[in-house]
Amino acid sequence: MTTTQVTLVQIDNYGPWTVTPEPRREMDLQTLQSRLFADIAQFLGHRDAYVFFTRFDNMIAVTNGVDGAAHATLQESIGNRYPVTVSLGTAVAERPVDALEAANHRLQTVGSAQDEARVEVLDGEYLTETTGSDLQIAHFDVVNATGKYTDRLNEFDTFINIEQAYASLMRYLRETHGALSFFVGGDNIIAVCPDLPESAFADAVAHVERDVDVELQVGVGRGASAHEAGFAAKHALEDCRLDGTSVELFGAPAVSD
């Protein structure tokens, strides 16, 4: 059984801030958002957690092993260094989407994302113990993206193909399994999953090919932290590349379930 600790990071009252006293220069907002993401990625990455930028004003982190004190330090440090503050809601569940739902709910019950009185909420539950099977992470990548897209099409048309694969996969895994999938650059998508057999990943790859005609391969790993599971997934993806297979489970025998 998987146990996922999810932290929702939400910039406080960001919408009004972006237009007060008048609309702010777009590239200044982009700089702020990407620096904030980079800072949070560095802080959480050093603690073996993952964070995904999603919409930038809200980010989703997988924080197994990161306790309440560390969350408080992150929040304080951002408040000290940025013109904005963040609220953090954390929850634990077997399915990633249920953990996110509960984490989100903690912030939503305190107030709106655009309530100027709702500032630096820190509300959550944290795993006290972790085990090596808590997280299952899948690292998807487009087969031969360079040869099929990058070296043949213009960058925008390549982007359309990759984003279509992402949209198809994220929706399928969310609806079928309660998994959370994130585009992480290039042709790569990382999915935080509940306990799924090898056949579920083969079905996901087949779905995307049928739906949008993009061929994926996927490595799957387990671990006590996002880094541990994600790193195992990267090694499994290397096995796909070496063996020409579309699904590999790290450390698992080469048989389907």
- Beta partners for 221? 137
The residue number with the shortest CB distance to ligand GTP is 186
Helix (H) or strand (E) holding 242: helix 226-243
Considering the complex, state which of residue 108 and residue 164 has its C-beta at the smaller distance from ligand GTP. 164
Q: Of the candidates 77, 109, 146, 256, which one interacts with ligand GTP according to CB under 6 A?
A: 146
187 lies in the binding site for ligand GTP (CB under 6 A): yes
Report the C-alpha gap between 228 and 13 in whole angstroms: 34
Of the ranges 32-40, 58-66, 106-114, 145-153, which one interacts with ligand GTP (CB under 6 A)? 145-153
d(C-alpha 132, C-alpha 211), whole Å: 34
Nearest CA to 92 out of 129, 114, 64, 68 is that of 64
Which residues touch 147 (CB under 8 Å, ≥6 apart)?
none
Work out which of 48, 141, 228, 248 binds ligand GTP, going by CB under 6 A.
141
Whose tokens are 């802080």? That residue is 43
User: Mask 89-128, x = binds ligand GTP (CB under 6 A)?
Assistant: ----------------------------------------
Phi, psi of 238 (to 5 degrees): -60, -35
Binding to ligand GTP in span 15-54, by CB under 6 A: none
Task: With CB under 6 A as the rule, give the number of residues binding ligand GTP.
Answer: 14
Within 8 A by CB and 6+ apart from 204, the residues are: 169, 172, 173, 176, 216, 218
Tell whether residue 253 is a contact of ligand GTP (CB under 6 A). Answer: no
The verdict on 184 binding ligand GTP (CB under 6 A) reads yes
CB of 144 to ligand GTP, least distance (A): 4
- The site for ligand GTP (CB under 6 A) is made up of 141-147, 184-188, 234, 241
